[in-house]
Structure 1
Amino acid sequence: MSTFLSTVRGSIVLATLVTTVTAQENKPAPEAVLASTRWFVDATPVIEDDTDDDALAEPVELTFCFDAKSKLAIDGDRPGFIAQPATLEATDEPGVFSVKCVTKQFGTLDATFQLEGNKLSGSTEWTHADGTVLQYELAARKACELDGTKWKVTVTPDPDIIDDDPTSEVIEFHRGHLRFEPESANLLYDAVAYTIKKTDKAIEISAMSAKDAGEHITWKLTIRGNALTGEMVEHDGDTVVARYGFQGKKLEPQRP
């Protein structure tokens, strides 16, 4: 009986080990998950001492672009932070990896990231040629397929509410937010975070932004191919004070 029980227990232990190993093997590596993705990164400086350079004490918005082989390139509004593609290195800690890049102005960049779903977190150091080290805490969210796109639309006020002519606007999806392009907007509304729902033939977009107490604005858009339709409604409590209909198409990026 004891031999039989030992055999059964041994089989259970072996089965457990096999299941655990198989689950670990089937779990995708961070490098595979990151391939061909973009991430919007907020880099917050870690200031230990006072600095005479106010620019170094300001947060930086960056874009991390991983190619098909998970090489990381860094883009952003500040040329000094832009880095050429570099290869990720695995660490001993599961889900954590590191990378070393060469930037245009700030010398080398050493970063460590942790991947959790659609979010990245970590820290980085930029080392100048003169030995100056800049430290930043990183928080990033994965970009969706709409981010970076612009849409030329005709905005038509509801004539039962607003007696005004239609206007031509550009709607853009910018770093996880929806907004009218600031440079050409006739309608001034704050950018608002949006959510998307995919169906077989369309992408449905919803957003809501709060203004003053009791006031809020809702967006409901639908994208089918290169066409966009929908509306934006301004509410004051339970009363609709403005409604705008949208109809337009996607703008193709301008070639340099």
Structure 2
Amino acid sequence: MTRTVVVTGGGTGIGRAVATRFAEKGARVLITGRRHSVLERASADIAGNVVAAQVDASDPDAVSAFADEVGPVDILVNNAGGNTDFDRAPTSSLSSVADSWRANFESNVITAVLMTTSLLPAMNDGGAIVTIGSIAADKGSGLYGAAKAAIASWNIDLARRIGARSITANVVATGYIADTEFFRDVLTHEAKDGLAASAMTKRAGAPDDIADMVEFLASNRARQITAQTFAVNGGEWPSR
């Protein structure tokens, strides 16, 4: 039976790699995001059954309408997010500080919570929810790290609530991944080399590295794996 997969932020980077992987496996894949042209280009480029849906995952009404339209899904990949501070001019005012925290939580936490809450009632039993986190959650990386830490905690409660339906919920915490829009093309070659060198593998991660883990966690081989956070960072931040 053909599986239905939703990938938020599926037009570029990690999301696009994940969408490509599931499409290659014969799934019906819906990629969401805010930029229509980016989504349309990705859906045209990826071979397989890939549908673009312009959805702001932080907008409750938009997410609800999307859930009503798409119907039951088997796999949800909460990939939308990123450090919104890269899009803001820093100031020291309390108002700006509050806005920065709200923006990061909305981009990384609210998007995942809304999409999951909206799709979950009609989700097929035996499915999987995978949310993209970051090693920033463990490294003390300011408000972006705090948002990703919140995701990891929320995921444990989510897994507890859906376990009886044989739906798993896990987080993939990434390290530095090249070929994404995360740093908004502001990194110098020296900075990129430094990030790659901080990994024990001495290379930058690639979107396909994350797609590999997401695919595994959504597969029948991982039905007893849930409520976990898996670091995919080349050893930049070890765990035990």
Give the alignment's TM-score, normalised by structure 2: 0.24
More helix by share: 2
Instruction: With a CA cutoff of 8 Å and minimum separation of 6, indicate the structure with the bigger relative contact order.
Output: 2
More strand by share: 1
Structure with larger Rg: 1
